Amino acid sequence: MTRAIHYSDRDEMVRDAVPGSFWIGRPDPVGDQPFWFICPCGCGDQRVLTVGNGFKPDTAPSWRWNGLTDAVELTPSVNMQGHWHGWLRAGEWQL
């Protein structure tokens, strides 16, 4: 498991590139938010997901975010096709 570390500054998250770290942007007019993260496997890849705070956005693919940053959870699982597939539960990236 890899701890999901919240950053309040995206540039700082990118600079530090800590595996499993994440930054969540402000919601757009319909409530969709960008969820940027550093791949939890340690490869250093940056990825972005579309999330909704307490709801799964209509755009695909998208994830429901529980609204927490200290015990962040996304549903469904995160599948970085051909690379990494797992869950983000209770603030931990899990295979």
Q: What does 17-81 look like in DSSP terms, one character per residue?
A: --TT-EEEPPP-TTSEEEEEEE-TTSS--EEEEEEEETS--SSSS-EEE-S-SSS--EEEEEEET
pLDDT, tens digit, 9 for 90 and up, residues 72-89 = 999 999 999 889 999 999
Domain of 66 in residue numbering reads as 2-94
Per-residue pLDDT at 25? 98
Q: What is the pLDDT of residues 21-57, one digit of tens each?
A: 999 999 999 999 999 999 999 999 999 999 999 999 9
| Widest Cα–Cα separation across the chain | 34
* Residue bearing tokens 């899990």: 94
Q: What DSSP designation does 9 have?
A: -
Number of separate domains in the chain: 1
Check whether the bond before 27 is cis (ω within 30° of 0): no
